[in-house]
């Protein structure tokens, strides 16, 4: 394989904007996704004001948003619903997935398999720009008449079908985001199959690559049904069909009339089935790459091989497969029938087994390690109990009997946020601190990182732990004003605790933002392998040049050879030949 | 590093046995199966859940106002176009670009004929008679499914036109690369054909 070093200099546009280099695209994804994560979080911080102090004027920001959204500084119920729907959509589809797959996957995965680039570089560029377009459409929808989509991130019919124009924007935006993910996932699978370095067999792949591999299959096969559902809902809204509008639907006291507004004969359940057929695998898209990153960081910082590497891989593959047959556990109370409920409860209990295997293997990996408590490791260690809490509290939701009580309460919010917020988001932070030296050639500041970690850890738990209690006590998750129900009155101190923690969490991100920006220019310079890790990305220069490796790497051993050989160094990189 | 210096862009990978583009197209087709699969599932659920009477009742046979003759001719057209597509690729393999181009032009014209028949004998008269998507869910699904399929045909026609015209320059640079790309186009084209083979009985005959 020949490396053509570019003798001619690329223009600014080709190099930084419409680049086909997987590393530039990864950085583009990363910056965009971090901005969306911050934006989605800001939406939530505003909602927390309304929840903690219903009907009170929001200081400063309330006055800025104008009379349409916040008359007198108090948000309208419609605006509150928009914020909720857009928070979910932005966090999942524009923040976390692009960050895990688009940014980390794009940047790290080709390096870890010793490839010069992705298999389809131009397709890679296209997926970023399709994603960016989808993001712009989503943001623009705030200015649509009636505001942005307000039917939740799940866009349940029939509410979403009769909603204002923002919902149409949402659907078009989603079609862009889905297309972007599809193109990306094809690229990932082909790259992992075709471009692995010599000697890098499937069972020598770092676990992160396996996680990306399975994730890509989920994106590839689960997203198209949502695209189909999106097209059908678009037809309902634009062409007057009624795929999701049932016979005799009554809206605001008026029945929708045949031949004028609605043809009838549709089923709102159809939307839920199609939506959750995507959205449950999506949950694993949100968690698998995070587990992969945590595994990398744990192995490097315990200085011993991952415990049960093969068990991790088999569990991940099984998890990916099972994630396609559990979707209707989101629908136990829809009246789809007890027989279906039984089936999905059983599959849900089965899918918890590989999740527990993965978590257990990661915890056992810590045993007898000489752990380095650096910033990425702190976040990775915090991931384990946080994901554990999130996972275990999911079990009562997977059984119909207990789900009936808990469904649509704050308990559900607490459960899945423990998986995705202190879980996946912590893994993202861990990844940022861990791979920052590879991407920039500089390290992020340690002290600021530890401050960021402590505040985030307290903040996250402060936000979500009270929600379990609030939820079990019966507070509904989509309520605009908790005080509307008298029973919630004595829960308000917990609601306010959540809100204050959310704002604390917001303050806690300032050291991160400051650290991130200043470290790019003024961070401590480091050599190519500052963590003394074994996987291939650390064999490339920091930052890796166009084409990645100075010499084409050849792989001689498994990914986590720490303290396994009698060598001077306590680690044995994958690309070094055995010494004679 | 540009696409053409990456390994296995043209030559097959020794382990997977395919070049990257072919693997990519197969994966893309897998996702397409899920897309149309979801729509066919929607068809099954909507049809089985349709009310027994009223304007939303499920039309069958004569009541669909769909002509199986037009549908049948279009089925035939697409099957023939699949054959000409294979012939174009085979001619490339035989190192005969001029002949391959002719087969591509025939494929393109057959696709155009398909769309012409669909438009003049089906879509436009249906709209004139008020048989629009909002009439009932049968027409809703009919227009969604065939519309999406027609978009796939148009996409395929753009790609075929590209390989008749500017894309053929690649032949001079690397005939094998061009042949491979034509093979990928063909795989996609057969899939679009296959979708119609399912659509025809489901919408016109059942």
What does the block give as tokens for A273? 């089935």
Classify residue A7: in a domain, yes or no.
no
Residue A385: is its pLDDT beyond 50?
yes
**Which of B48, B140, B147, B151 to mutate to test binding with chain A, by most A CBs within 10 Å of its CB?**
B140
Nearest to B27 among A3, A189, A259 (CB): A189
Q: What is the pLDDT of residues B96-107, one digit of tens each?
A: 999 999 999 999
CA-to-CA distance for A505 and A393, rounded, in angstroms?
23
Classify residue A19: in a domain, yes or no.
no
What's the structural domain count of chain A? 1
Residue numbers of B between 45 and 64 with CB closer than 8 Å to A: 45-46, 49-51, 54-57
Nearest to A243 among B34, B42, B57 (CB): B42
Q: What is the pLDDT of residues A331-343, one digit of tens each?
A: 999 888 889 999 9
Q: How many residues does chain A have?
A: 580
- Long-range contacts, A359-363 (Cβ 8 Å, 24+): A359/A384, A359/A387, A359/A388, A359/A391, A361/A306, A361/A307, A361/A308, A361/A311, A361/A312, A361/A315, A362/A291, A362/A294, A362/A295, A362/A298, A362/A306, A362/A307
Would you say the pTM of this structure is higher than 0.90?
yes
Distance between A273 CA and the closest CA of chain B, angstroms: 10
Q: Which residues of B touch A157 (CB under 8 A)?
A: none
Q: What is the pLDDT of residues B29-72, one digit of tens each?
A: 999 999 999 999 999 999 988 888 777 788 888 888 999 999 99
Instruction: Please report the DSSP string for A384-425 in residue order.
Output: HHHHHHHHHTTHHHHSHHHHHHHTTBHHHHHHHHHHIIIIII
Q: Which of the pair, A566 or A382, is modelled with greater confidence?
A: A382
Classify residue A236: in a domain, yes or no.
yes
Tell me what the pLDDT averaged over chain B comes to: 93
CA-to-CA distance for A115 and A548, rounded, in angstroms?
8
Classify residue A549: in a domain, yes or no.
no
Residue numbers of B between 99 and 118 with CB closer than 8 Å to A: none
Classify residue A73: in a domain, yes or no.
yes
Pinpoint the alpha helices (H) of A195-262: 207-238
| Domain containing residue A32: CATH number | 1.20.210.10
Q: What is the pLDDT of residues A112-125, one digit of tens each?
A: 999 999 999 999 99
On whether any CB of chain B is under 8 Å from the CB of A223, the answer is yes
Residue numbers of B between 10 and 49 with CB closer than 8 Å to A: 13, 16, 20-21, 23-24, 27-28, 30-32, 34-39, 41-42, 45-46, 49
Q: Which of the pair, A258 or A315, is modelled with greater confidence?
A: A315
Find the closest chain B residue to A181 by CA distance: B31
What does the pLDDT read at residue A262?
63
CA-to-CA distance for A361 and A366, rounded, in angstroms?
9
Q: Which domain holds residue A275?
A: 25-539
- Tally A–B CB contacts below 8 A: 158
Q: Is the dihedral of CA B3, B6, B11, B16 positive or negative?
A: negative
Classify residue A262: in a domain, yes or no.
yes
Q: What is the pLDDT of residues B117-154, one digit of tens each?
A: 999 999 999 999 988 888 888 999 999 999 999 999 99
What does the pLDDT read at residue A257?
62
Distance between A401 CA and the closest CA of chain B, angstroms: 27
What separation in angstroms does the CA of A268 have from each of A229, A240, A331, B45? 11, 15, 12, 11
Q: Under an 8 A CB cutoff, do B54 and A258 touch?
A: yes
What does the pLDDT read at residue A17?
87
Q: A130, A170, A135: which is closest to A150 by C-alpha?
A: A170
Q: Under an 8 A CB cutoff, do A193 and B13 touch?
A: yes
Q: Under an 8 A CB cutoff, do A265 and B56 touch?
A: yes
Tell me what the pLDDT averaged over chain A comes to: 93
What does the pLDDT read at residue A263?
62
What does the pLDDT read at residue A467?
97
Q: Under an 8 A CB cutoff, do A224 and B135 touch?
A: no
Domains of chain B with CATH codes: 3-205 (1.20.120.80)
What residue has token string 């999911």?
A394
Residue A559: is its pLDDT beyond 50?
yes
Find the closest chain B residue to A266 by CA distance: B46
Classify residue A11: in a domain, yes or no.
no
Classify residue A571: in a domain, yes or no.
no
Q: What phi and psi values does residue A63 have, to the nearest 5 degrees?
A: -75, -25
On whether any CB of chain A is under 8 Å from the CB of B133, the answer is yes
Residue A149: is its pLDDT beyond 80?
yes
What does the pLDDT read at residue A241?
87
Nearest to A241 among B8, B36, B137 (CB): B137
- A260 confidence band (pLDDT: 50, 70, 90): low
Q: Which residues of B touch A248 (CB under 8 A)?
A: none
What does the block give as tokens for A556? 């001689």
Q: What phi and psi values does residue A198 have, to the nearest 5 degrees?
A: -60, 135
Find the closest chain B residue to A236 by CA distance: B134
Q: Is the dihedral of CA A463, A469, A472, A475 positive or negative?
A: negative
- Say which DSSP state A554 is in: B
- A4 confidence band (pLDDT: 50, 70, 90): very low
- A5 confidence band (pLDDT: 50, 70, 90): very low
On whether any CB of chain B is under 8 Å from the CB of A297, the answer is no
Nearest to A235 among B20, B35, B144 (CB): B144
Residue numbers of A between 182 and 221 with CB closer than 8 Å to B: 182, 185-187, 189-190, 193-195, 220-221
């Amino acid at each position: 394989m020949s490396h053509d070093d570019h003798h001619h200099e690329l223009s600014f546009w080709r190099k930084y904007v419409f680049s086909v280099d997987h590393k530039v695209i990864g950085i583009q994804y990363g910056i965009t996704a971090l901005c969306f994560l911050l934006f989605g979080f800001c939406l939530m911080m505003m909602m927390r004001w309304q929840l903690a102090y219903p009907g009170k004027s929001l200081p400063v920001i309330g006055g800025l948003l104008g009379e349409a959204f916040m008359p007198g500084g108090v948000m309208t119920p419609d605006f509150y619903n928009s914020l909720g729907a857009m928070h979910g959509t932005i966090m999942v589809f524009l923040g976390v997935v692009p960050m895990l797959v688009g940014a980390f996957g794009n940047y790290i995965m080709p390096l870890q398999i010793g490839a010069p680039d992705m298999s389809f570089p131009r397709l890679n560029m296209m997926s970023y720009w399709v994603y960016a377009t989808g993001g712009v459409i989503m943001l623009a929808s705030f200015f649509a008449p009636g505001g942005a989509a307000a039917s939740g991130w799940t866009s349940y019919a029939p509410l979403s079908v009769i909603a204002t124009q923002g919902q149409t924007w949402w659907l078009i935006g989603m079609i862009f985001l889905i297309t972007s993910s599809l193109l990306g996932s094809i690229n990932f699978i082909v790259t992992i199959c075709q471009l692995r370095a010599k000697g890098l067999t499937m069972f020598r792949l770092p676990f992160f690559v396996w996680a990306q591999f399975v994730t890509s299959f989920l994106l590839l096969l689960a997203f198209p049904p949502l695209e189909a559902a999106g097209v059908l809902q678009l037809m309902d809204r634009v062409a007057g069909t009624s795929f999701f509008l049932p016979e005799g639907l009554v809206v605001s006291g008026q029945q929708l009339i045949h031949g004028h507004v609605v043809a009838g004969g549709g089923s709102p359940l159809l939307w839920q089935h199609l939506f959750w057929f995507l959205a449950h695998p999506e949950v694993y898209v949100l968690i698998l790459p995070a587990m992969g990153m945590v595994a990398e960081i744990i192995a490097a910082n315990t200085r011993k091989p991952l415990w049960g590497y093969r068990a991790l891989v088999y569990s991940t593959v099984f998890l990916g497969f099972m994630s396609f047959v559990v979707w209707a556990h989101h629908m136990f109370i829809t009246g789809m029938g007890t027989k279906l409920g039984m089936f999905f409860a059983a599959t849900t209990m089965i899918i918890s087994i590989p999740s527990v295997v993965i978590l257990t293997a990661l915890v056992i990996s810590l045993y007898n390690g000489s752990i380095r408590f650096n910033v990425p490791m702190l976040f990775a260690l915090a991931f384990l109990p946080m994901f554990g809490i999130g996972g275990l509290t999911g079990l009562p939701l997977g059984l119909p009997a207990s789900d009936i009580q808990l469904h649509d309460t704050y308990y559900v919010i607490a459960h899945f946020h423990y998986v995705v917020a202190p879980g996946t988001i912590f893994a993202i932070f861990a990844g940022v601190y861990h791979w920052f030296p590879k991407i920039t050639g500089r390290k992020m500041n340690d002290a600021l990182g530890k401050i960021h970690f402590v505040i985030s850890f307290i903040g996250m738990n402060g936000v979500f732990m009270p929600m379990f209690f609030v939820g079990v006590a019966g507070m509904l998750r989509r309520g605009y004003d908790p005080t509307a129900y008298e029973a919630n009155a004595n829960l308000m101190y917990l609601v306010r605790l959540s809100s204050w923690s959310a704002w604390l969490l917001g303050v806690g991100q300032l050291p991160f933002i400051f650290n991130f920006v200043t470290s790019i220019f003024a961070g401590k310079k480091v050599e190519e392998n500052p963590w003394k890790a074994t996987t291939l990305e650390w064999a490339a220069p920091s930052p890796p040049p166009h084409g990645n490796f100075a010499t084409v790497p050849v792989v001689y051993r498994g990914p986590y050879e720490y303290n396994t050989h009698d060598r001077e160094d306590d680690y044995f990189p994958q690309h070094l030949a055995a010494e004679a | 590093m540009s696409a053409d210096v990456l390994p296995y862009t043209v030559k097959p990978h020794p382990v997977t046995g395919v070049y990257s583009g072919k693997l990519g197209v197969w994966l893309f087709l897998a996702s397409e199966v899920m897309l149309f699969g979801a729509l066919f599932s929607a068809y099954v659920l909507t049809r089985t859940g349709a009310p027994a009477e009223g304007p939303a009742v499920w039309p069958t046979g004569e009541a669909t106002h769909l002509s199986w003759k037009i549908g049948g001719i279009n089925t035939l057209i697409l099957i023939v176009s699949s054959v000409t597509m294979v012939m174009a690729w085979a001619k490339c393999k035989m190192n005969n670009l001029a002949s391959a181009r002719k087969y591509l032009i025939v494929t393109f014209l057959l696709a155009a004929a398909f769309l012409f028949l669909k438009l003049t004998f089906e879509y436009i008269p249906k709209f004139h008679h008020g048989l629009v998507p909002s009439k009932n869910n049968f027409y809703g699904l009919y227009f969604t499914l065939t519309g999406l399929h027609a978009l796939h045909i148009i996409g395929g026609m753009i790609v075929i036109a590209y390989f008749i015209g500017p894309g053929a320059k690649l032949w001079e640079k690397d005939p094998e690369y061009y042949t491979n790309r034509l093979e990928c186009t063909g795989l996609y084209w057969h899939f679009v054909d296959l979708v119609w083979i399912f659509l025809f009985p489901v919408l016109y005959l059942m």
